[in-house]
């Protein structure tokens, strides 16, 4: 069973709206104010997203010719402070679970037609760094990256789709950064780019307990045909999850 390619480390860095001002501190302050009060944002210790994923996949037809067809799945995402993450993707192929438990991370694949056919992989150092960065991006609401060893860089004014924007880079580690483009007039976050050149846009809005979240995330790679769309159906804040959901599973000896 093959894993759904190149999704989790980057895709689930959920993008939020914010107002762009003259300095990084001012941009961040206004971005947080647009999402909710300081009390509400600081009080969030976990976020649980449930929804649907839609994309395309390349497969071979009965004649061996490569074709493209729709790929659909359900998706369940948990972020919990300080550095815990769990993503469950269920499709016709089977179930793929990717999880982070502080400085350990793993991926488990289970075949849809035969539960005894499964594999477990421990993720490497760079993959763990990316999962930790995406967890921070979802739970910190832009503030405090310096306490995690990163920094914010003001990359100045740019124009995106005819809109004047302020570009900020949230740099977690060499080679791991999230580039945010804030509309200078409205404060809307128009685009997030990754260091790979892939991009994330958001559409719609869900308000949960007074905090604003995007309804839809659109992830585009350098290949224009490779678009992944996540539509969020439900968001739950401040659940408490057992350690076992994130810990590396024990191998069962038969």
Q: CA nearest 211: which of 10, 45, 66, 98?
A: 45
Q: Give the model's pLDDT for residue 9.
A: 45
Q: What is the mean pLDDT of the chain?
A: 88
Kindly state the tokens that stand for 26. 């001012």
pLDDT above 60: residue 18: no
The most confident of the ranges 110-119, 128-137, 223-232, 243-252 is 128-137
Kindly state the tokens that stand for 149. 């060893």
Return the domain boundaries, the chain.
Answer: 10-245
Q: Give the model's pLDDT for residue 252.
A: 60
Q: CA nearest 12: which of 130, 177, 165?
A: 130
Q: Distance (Å, rounded) from C-alpha 211 to C-alpha 242?
A: 25
- Overall average pLDDT of the 135-149 stretch: 95
What sections of the chain are H helices per DSSP?
A: 8-11, 24-35, 38-42, 125-139
Instruction: Encode pLDDT of 153-176 as tens digits.
Output: 999 899 988 988 889 999 999 999
Q: CA nearest 1: which of 135, 113, 122, 161?
A: 113
Instruction: Encode pLDDT of 75-94 as tens digits.
Output: 999 999 999 999 999 999 99
* pTM for this predicted structure: 0.86
Overall size of the chain counted in residues: 254
- Overall average pLDDT of the 87-111 stretch: 97
Instruction: Encode pLDDT of 228-250 as tens digits.
Output: 999 999 999 999 999 999 999 98
**Architecture of the 10-245 domain:** Clam (2.50)
């Amino acid at each position: 069973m093959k894993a759904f390619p190149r999704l989790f480390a980057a895709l689930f860095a959920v993008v939020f709206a914010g107002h762009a001002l003259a300095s990084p501190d001012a941009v961040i302050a206004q971005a947080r104010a647009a999402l909710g009060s300081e009390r509400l944002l600081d009080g969030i210790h976990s976020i649980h997203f449930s929804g649907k994923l839609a994309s395309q996949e390349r497969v071979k037809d009965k004649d061996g010719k490569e074709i493209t067809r729709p790929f659909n799945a359900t998706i369940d995402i948990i972020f919990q402070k300080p550095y815990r993450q769990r993503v469950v993707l269920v499709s016709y192929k089977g179930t793929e679970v990717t999880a982070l438990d502080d400085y350990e991370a793993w991926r488990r694949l289970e075949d849809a037609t035969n539960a005894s056919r499964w594999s477990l992989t421990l993720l490497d150092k760079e993959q763990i760094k990316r999962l930790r960065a995406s967890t921070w991006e979802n739970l910190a609401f832009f503030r405090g990256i310096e306490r995690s060893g990163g920094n914010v860089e003001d990359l100045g004014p740019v124009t995106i789709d005819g809109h004047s924007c302020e570009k900020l880079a949230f740099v977690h580690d060499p080679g791991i950064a999230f580039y945010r483009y804030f509309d200078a007039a409205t404060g809307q976050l128009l685009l997030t780019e990754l260091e790979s050149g892939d991009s994330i846009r958001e559409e719609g809005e869900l308000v949960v307990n007074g905090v604003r979240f995007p309804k839809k995330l659109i992830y585009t790679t350098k290949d224009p045909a490779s678009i992944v769309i996540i539509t969020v159906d439900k968001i739950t804040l401040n659940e408490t999850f057992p350690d076992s959901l994130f810990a590396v599973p024990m191998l069962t000896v038969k």
